[in-house]
Structure 1
Amino acid sequence: MNVSVLYALAAAALFGASTPLAKSLGMGLSPVLLAGLLYLGSGLGLTIVRIVRDRGWRSSGLTAPEWPWLLAAIAFGGVLGPIALMFGLTRTSGATASLMLNLESVLTALLAWLVFKENADRRIVLGMIVIVLGGCVLSWPQENTSAHDWSGPLAVALACLCWAIDNNLTRKVSASDAVFIAGLKGLSAGAVNCVLALAIGAQLPAISTLAPTLLVGFLGYGVSLVLFVLALRGLGSARTGAYFSTAPFLGAALSILMLGESVSWLFWIAAALMALGVWIHLTENHAHEHQHDPLVHSHRHTHDEHHQHEHDFEWDGSEPHSHLHHHAPIRHSHPHFPDIHHRHKH
């Protein structure tokens, strides 16, 4: 299995677990403050990890053209997205919200295909249609269910749109340091949301609630995002979103087991449709003859068929390693994803 697939699945597992945990911890907290604390835990934790890893503070390595993409991604994914999700969680069940999050993969793929011109073949499109049907079933109003109305699922859907935009923008900088990208997102989004929440009258919770909330944020938002960026680097936006859409199933299961939430027959129909859509995505295979244009960039790599270059420094033979390197033009055919080396037209 491609290691990027494992990154995506691990990211999904951590984020899926964070949804019911955030709902449980956030009882009594404003949605804005809860979103801020989760991202603050992500940013603080990853900043500490980066300082320890690099034995001090180092430059991010991002180029000037990459900064606008990253800042826009922070605005959509780190500020608007979590606020919409936390609002939605106050008006729908954790299990329903968890499954609604499958729409993120659909919207990510649609944006990647239509706006950013990433390849999406018939299986990707078919899988998206099936997942959308599942989301429609899940959003259908049910009588005698006070915890379920249109506003909750619509807010979660808005959060999915924000994160879909974030995913495609982050893909533009995915070759850079994933820990820095995720850490900056967490610090920026956490600071903005916490300041906004405190300004409108929210109060920080007791340490007994604050500490586990920050920890959930570090694991479910921070470490998960690092793994997601690594997956974007190797799979592209649409495919990473497809694998990441397994997250809601874990979140839904935890909501049922931990929070004791009841589910209707519509929930199981939606789950079956979404599972089918995910399976269609995961079984997609893409191979054809393609052209690699000249490219110069820096990222962690091994000397595979795409990295047959010389070194202008003394190299001890260790792999993987990271440095600025040049890709010569090459034409060949093999199964591939739209990763950082395969962003060609079809």
Structure 2
Amino acid sequence: MKKTAIIAGLLSGFLFGVATPFSKLLLAHLNSFQLAGLLYLGAGIAMIPSIMKTGGQIKLLFSKSNLVRTSGIILFGGLLGPLLLLVGLRAANAASVSIWLNMELVATAVLGVLFFKDSLDKFTWIGVILTVFAGVATSFGEGVSGLTSALLITAACFCWGIDNHLTALTDGATPQAVTFVKGLMAGIVNLAIGVSISASSIAFNIVAAALIVGGFSYGFSIVLYVISAQNIGATRGQILFATAPLWGVILSYIFFQDSFHWTHVISLLLLILAVVVINMISHKHQHTHEMLEHIHYHKHNDEHHDHSHDDESINPAKGHSHMHTHQSLTHTHPHYPDLHHRHKHE
């Protein structure tokens, strides 16, 4: 699953990276609330085909065990995060904002260690530090207005850091179900606020464009990130997601002819190095897994997934998602803090 998780994380970063320059264009016609609402509605709408097949899993997100997590995902990831981002985006060029977004990685790492049992080895910490340096280097080229934007975007990143861990730990529902609920509820609230404070109507072509960007850059991107985070941990998944600025910067230069600055080159090189470093894992010790029943995307290629299927339509050789049971197991192997390895260390 490591290969699948890495590919999913990189694709997630690509899809989200292209959202920054397109959002900059759309902000010329929409206020921040309107755009945030339409982007998340687009994400929710994109999940409808999948939800029609597994709609019952939405109820699990509001079960007693998941209600607090789901509420936090909607509040921090769907409402506060995108709003702070779009306000910050108005005050700085899109290329720099794309790189500042990697502060989400730092927030995810810090919150993970302090609150979410996310064990980070030396290589992961090196990746986090490299990302911090990338953000600092970028801020030197922006001046005071850039600092204001950086603070707003940093706040957004901490909101998304909370969202990342809550999403990675949400059990019993598919990534599509999580994305649908967050997109629909956050989209409705943000759009309602945006329409109420706007004196003009929104053109149909602008609505359509925002929904399309939201479907791809938020909807499918979130699903891919969840798959990655559930299999290699929220922080490592976030480092892969950190490739988003590579695409955001490139498109920002193409669309806006943003001024080229040497700090962008340094930042991008540091980000590339960070992605390479975190693929070297050194975390290994004996640990015990308690009996567990849950649902997530998996393959039958490790000691944790040796169960059989009553449904003959499921191909165990391919990646799939369904409810399954893990028996108690004690063993030693290199591992990430995925859904199966959120244990405490002596």
TM-score under structure 1 normalisation?
0.90
1:193 to 190, 193, 210: 190
Contact 1:30–1:202, Cα closer than 8 Å, also in 2: no
Matches within 5 A, 1:34-53: 34-51=35-52, 53=53
Q: Is the 8 A contact 2:5 2:228 kept in 1?
A: yes
Bigger drift between 88-97 and 273-282 goes to 273-282
How big is the shift at 1:141?
A: 5.8
User: Are residues 4 and 142 of structure 1, via their aligned partners in 2, closer, same or farther at CA, if it must alter by over 3 Å?
Assistant: closer
Range that drifts further, 314-323 or 270-279: 314-323
Distance of 2:341 and 2:110 partners within structure 1: 18
* Residues in 2 aligned to 1:260 and 1:115: alpha-carbon distance in whole angstroms: 42
Match of 1:247 among 215, 238, 244: 244
95-104 or 167-176: bigger deviation: 167-176
With 14-23 and 133-142 compared, the bigger mean Cα shift is at 133-142
CA shift digits 1:129-168 (9 cap, x unpaired): 221122122123646xx9x432112111111111111101
How far is 1:126 from its partner?
A: 2.1
Which of 153, 160, 163 pairs up with 1:163? 160
The aligned residue for residue 264 of structure 2 is 267
CA contact (8 A) 2:36 2:187 kept: yes
Q: Which residue of 1 aligns with 2:136?
A: 136
User: Which segment is superposed worse, 178-187 or 61-70?
Assistant: 61-70
SS at match of 1:150: helix
Aligned mates of 2:245, 2:289 — CA distance in 1: 36
Query: Which deviates further from its counterpart, 42-51 or 230-239?
Result: 42-51
The structural deviation recorded for 1:329 is 2.0
Q: How does 1:173-252 map to 2 (within 5 A)?
A: 173=170, 176-201=173-198, 203-252=200-249
CA distances 1:50-109 after superposition (whole Å, capped 9, x unpaired): 22x45xx53425142112101111100100010111111100000000011111111111
Pair 293,101 (structure 1): closer, same or farther in 2 beyond 3 Å:
same
Is contact 2:34-2:195 (8 Å) kept? yes
Deviates more, 1:335-344 or 1:188-197: 335-344
Establish whether residue 98 from structure 1 lines up as the match of residue 98 from structure 2. yes
CA distance in 2, matches of 1:29, 1:101: 21
Given that 1:131 and 1:273 are in contact with CA atoms closer than 8 Å, whether structure 2 keeps it comes out as: yes
Tell me the percent identity. 36
The residue aligned with 1:82 is: 82
Q: 1:323: Cα distance to partner?
A: 4.4
The match for 1:337 is 336
Cα distance in 2, alignment partners of residues 201 and 61 from structure 1 = 35
Separation in structure 2 between the aligned mates of residue 178 and residue 233 of structure 1, nearest angstrom:
10
| Structure 2 runs not aligned, ≥5 long | none
Q: Which residue of 2 aligns with 1:58?
A: 56
Structure 2: which amino acid aligns with 1:330? L
1:308 aligns to what? 306
Three-state SS of the structure 1 residue aligned to 2:116 is coil
The offset of 1:211, in angstroms, is: 0.8
Is contact 2:102–2:242 with CA below 8 Å preserved after alignment? yes
The letter for the 2-side match of 1:19 is: T
Shift of 1:175: 5.2
Residue pair 2:123, 2:277 contacting (<8 A) in 1 also:
yes
Aligned position for 1:32: 33
d(CA) in 2 for partners of 1:219, 1:316: 29
CA distance in 2, matches of 1:255, 1:264: 13
* In 1, Cα distance between equivalents of 2:330 and 2:295: 21
The answer to whether the 8 Å contact 1:174/1:232 transfers is no
Q: Is the 8 A contact 2:93 2:258 kept in 1?
A: yes
- Normalising by structure 2, what TM-score? 0.90
Shift of 1:174: 5.3
Q: CA deviation at 1:321?
A: 5.2
Unaligned stretches of 5+ residues in structure 1: none
- Tell me the SS of whatever aligns to 1:282: coil
Amino acid at match of 1:149: G
Distance change in 2, residues 1:12/1:321 (3 Å): closer
Residue 116 of structure 1: CA displacement? 0.9
Structure 1 residues 26, 329: CA separation in 2 closer, same or farther (over 3 Å shift)? same
